[in-house]
Structure 1
Amino acid sequence: MGIGARGNAGRAGLACVVALVLGLAMGTAWTPRSALAQVSSDGWEFTLLACPAGGGYGTGGFENGPGVPLNGSGSFVFSTASDGLAWLQLHQGGLDGVPLASLHDLTYSTFVVTGGTQAAPYLMLQVDLNDDGLPDDQLVYLPHLNDTVVPIEWQTWDALEGVWWSLNGRAGMTQANPQPLSVYLDAYPNATLANDDTGALVVAAGCLSGVSWSSWQGAVDALSIAYSTTTIAWDFESTGVVTSRRAIPGGPLTFTNLTPAPWSTVAPGEVTVAVNVRSSSPITRVTMTLNGQELAPEIAGPSAFQLSAFTGLTLQPGLYQVLATAEDRSGQTFQAMWQFVVSNNPNDSWWFLADGTPRRAEIEASLRSLVEAFRWHFWGYSWDGQQHSTDIPTHAE
């Protein structure tokens, strides 16, 4: 399914073309694959613009291949003429108003048919900087500025982990000096995606300098974006777009399980120390210490939003304290501290042995901590003469 045009504004609505291919225009019944994955244009439109140096010819459309796409059997294919002056844009208008800072996943896959060039389909984000709903800048992700583009091979790009540049050179981010999006957000923390005639999210080919677009052909597929608690995945097929939407488990960064259980008693020998972590933003780091010694846990999980950190240790009888720290991409940090006992007698506890003998040091330490915490919390009395209001709230303020 190809769409071609010459000049400075050839535009075609994909919905019409997709409808013809699906047979909808002829009244043929069509059943969606599921309530969450449907074939349509889903807000994607193709536009052909002229490069600043002049107009050119190019095509874009849903086709089978090339090669073996990551999802399904098709992709969206771009082609340019020998002059390389066409600016091909496949744009999505359904992300208007999404805060730039809320993005925590943006990946896509490309296939370059033409050899001898580092040109590959790239991403553009249109951003509003003054809350008027109109684009004030465009951020550009160029694959070849992040890694080597390999022809005749599907490559997946993690755009949020890469470097970008601003078409207006804002925040010092130019094509010659691309930077992570965090640099842009430091300068414009309230930036939001903005939709106009060319969409808030654009997959483009052509025009940009630094690589050759002459007689070039390439494809894009498997584009996924996640923001706040929403994930959208677009699979480009010869029949149109297969869209999958799902909600990310909401809530702040938290630990859902601590092992061994707090205040529990376990037998000496092999002991597993572990935490389960969950967040609505991808988890970027999990660390653990045992009695002040850094551990090296293995990290695994069904997704970046739900992880487990665990390690197996050989422990002798004694008292142990774990400190676990987790961080996510949104900047949240959360910690948990808990104690457990290793003993041959399962009735031994943190404060008393099984025969009732008290552990004086542990009892005194616990009581002292309670007294100090209550004094600070209710009256603002410091236990060591230092100011702690930045870490511990007090009613005295």
Structure 2
Amino acid sequence: MTGLTPDDATTEASAVLAEVVASERLRIVASLIRTTGDWDLAEDSLHDAVTRALSTWPERGIPDNPGAWLTTVAKNIAVDAFRKVAAERNTAQRVAIETEIDAQEHGGEEPTMPIDPADPLNDDRLRLIFTCCHPALAMESRVALTLRTVLGLSVAETAHVFLVSEQTMQKRLVRTRGKIRAAGIPYRVPPPHLLPERTAGVLAVLYLLFTEGYSSGSGTDLIRPALADEAIRLTRLVAQLMPQQPEVLALLALELFQHSRAATRLDAAGDIVLLEDQDRSRWDAPAIAEGSQTLAEAEHTLQHLSTSPGPYLLQAQIAAEHATAPTAAATDFARIAALYAHLSEVAPSPIVDLNRAIAVAFSEGPDAGLALLDTLDLDAQLGEYHLLHATRADLHRRSGRPADALPHYRRALELAPSDPERRFLQRRLNQVG
């Protein structure tokens, strides 16, 4: 950073740090939880390491490997915390804590123990996800722990999801972590005979992690590809663990189809490009090919098991229609609408109903989509969801009724959570206004 002013150095360091934390946080926290056994200490140590980076990187320069720097500093902070506790205990306790420190300084494994990074059983992030999804934990505790520890939401953001106070959520998280310790819930990927009881929860966490990469809750960044990449990597590991589970394969296919459009979702200015306007020549053809093959494997496995398609397989089939259509006009929206109708039976959701109405609008006309929206009565469930209002506005616009579109665009703009979405809706408002 030679030649930068102090303010410029701070800005550059902050930008690099934000990117590193987004891509490396889950790995670092998962590793620290394994080596310390203390969930709070792991998160606190990373937070302190980030604070230290903010104060030292602008002065000393950004490290060649920022992720490794954060990992090392967070680990040292955790070790120091252990030693501080050890100094306050009696001899027997001190020996036990020093033993923990020695294990941590060796990465929590015997130095001679061979580790295969491609082995799902040796992946700390997968251990963390399976632990969060342990059936001994109440469902709301699993979700809260996932949002806070896997996705990295703040306590306040997690509390907002559950519509409770920050203090209430903090107590809930403390109780959940305490139950993990008290019940001796192992920090591991479970053996094969225990995998089925956690499959649904793990897949939900992985898809939540993936979608978080494409739906930033606020601020300037709508897309964070590092989160999507990490979700795909972890889904591949679960597919290795459970190769005969069609829903696991279907989730991997779904993620590949959706991720194939990553380069075209925003333009050079960071503004949203609608699916129908994206340059399909820039879509990731190998990812689409792999997604198609993986979906075919899921469908073949499903047929062999003689079971009905699950929600991820239906969503993957929908994504495949979009990803493999040579043009927007050639997309089979009638089949997509039928798949959404099936999905609403398998996994009822107001979001599924909204997407079904959009597919109907593209296959039968915008007025047909609006009529379906009216029959679904989604306002009670999605009244604060900006995309419901944006959909109504867009269908009125496409029907040649800009005056009817205006109030819906205004409401969508009020509710939009990110800057790119607000800019897009403002442009639409200007057009119809």
Q: Shorter-chain TM-score: which interval?
A: under 0.3
Which structure: greater helix fraction? 2
Larger Rg: 1
More strand by share: 1
TM-score, normalized by length of structure 1? 0.24
- TM-score normalized by the length of structure 2: 0.23
